[in-house]
Amino acid sequence: MLPMPTLEHNGFVDMFRENPSLAPHFLEILFHLDLPPYATVAVVEASLDQLLPVEFCADLVLELRDGAGALVLSIVLEVQRDIDRRKGYSWPVYVAVVRARKECSAVVLVVAPDAEVAAWAAQKIDLGLGLGTLQPLVLGPASVPEVTDQAEAEKEMELAILSAVAHGNGPNGLAVVQSALGALGRLDHEHAAVYFQIVYNALRDPMRRALEALIMERQTEGKATFPPFAQQLIERGRIEGIREGKLEGIREGKLEGILEAKRDALLRLVARAGIALTADHRERIQSCKDPAILDRWVDNALEAKDASEVLS
């Protein structure tokens, strides 16, 4: 049985399906390839479905045609999240069938944000006795740059998303992720939410916490540099994390750690809502030792208009 596609897999496939010009664009700017002159790029995955058995079904196939309509290049796109030795046999099939039936050049372009998977996918595939090879082109950490400039991220939004997934856990991860998420404002809510979730899912726990802290800080300061839905998802995730034991204090099993995490979330939510707290209010919050009461106050803070409604 074939594995079920994931949100990340489908999200990346749709990225290229909805903007076919991305594939040749990346071949030119990231791999520095001289492509034949072309006027149009079209998605033709249905054609490949007719050419190959179902077990040899690529994720996407794009065709480049010149001004006269002649086919000049086919790009077979594959999104690869894990190492799969069978791809060493199926990828050459894609190229061979497309070349034979379409009578044009063909390449395999692999989207592999994970460094280990990308390194595996980038290996030349020996077609037999060393007499011929296939070289997959891989969009991974080695080929995708770190996009930290906001203007560049907005100009090359899809590249910024790939960069955030590939480099989001690295030394400059927070800057890369911040640039990518800041560029999502130009998209409709549905697409932006999918890309945000793809980036967020790719982050390991320390970077997720750093991103959450940054967003909460910006909310408190009134500097909303992230799309509203991202702030809401982070906020909801933070609250759920407190309840499900994902924060450090809870992992350590210490009651005071649990209480401190809940108090911290409550104070941040109150500050974001612009609700003023007196010294007595703060003392009441800091002295509360009942996790259930703090949970209720956190829920109240999501819709409260003043401190009395929060602490009711």
Least confident of 6-15, 88-97, 212-221, 299-308: 212-221
Under 8 Å CB-to-CB from 82, ≥6 apart: which residues?
Answer: 117
Cα–Cα distance for residue pair 182/97, rounded to 1 Å: 41
Which of the residue ranges 108-122, 218-232, 286-300 has the most confident prediction, judged by mean pLDDT? 108-122
Residue 138 has pLDDT above 80, yes or no: yes
What band does 54 get if pLDDT is binned at 50, 70 and 90? very low
Mean pLDDT of 162-180: 92
Which of the residue ranges 84-88, 260-264, 290-294, 305-309 has the most confident prediction, judged by mean pLDDT? 84-88
Please measure the distance between the N-terminal and C-terminal CA atoms of the chain and give it in whole angstroms.
54
Quote the pLDDT of residue 83. 94
Quote the pLDDT of residue 262. 74
> Which of 271, 148, 274, 277 is closest to 217 using CA atoms?
271
Quote the pLDDT of residue 258. 64
What band does 243 get if pLDDT is binned at 50, 70 and 90? very low
Structure tokens at 121: 């996918």
**pLDDT tens digits, residue range 58-68?**
889 999 999 99
Give the total residue count for the chain: 312
Structure tokens at 258: 């649990």
What band does 167 get if pLDDT is binned at 50, 70 and 90? very high
- 75 touches 57 (CB < 8 A): no
Quote the pLDDT of residue 250. 36
Q: What is the pTM of this model?
A: 0.70
- 76 touches 61 (CB < 8 A): yes
What band does 234 get if pLDDT is binned at 50, 70 and 90? low
What band does 239 get if pLDDT is binned at 50, 70 and 90? very low
**∠ CA 5-81-45, rounded to 5°:** 55
For all residues of the chain together, what is the average pLDDT? 83
Residue 231 has pLDDT above 70, yes or no: no
Mean pLDDT of 14-18: 93
Q: Which residues of 221-247 are buried (b: 16+ CB within 10 A; e: fewer)?
A: eeeebbbeebbebbbeebbebbbeebb
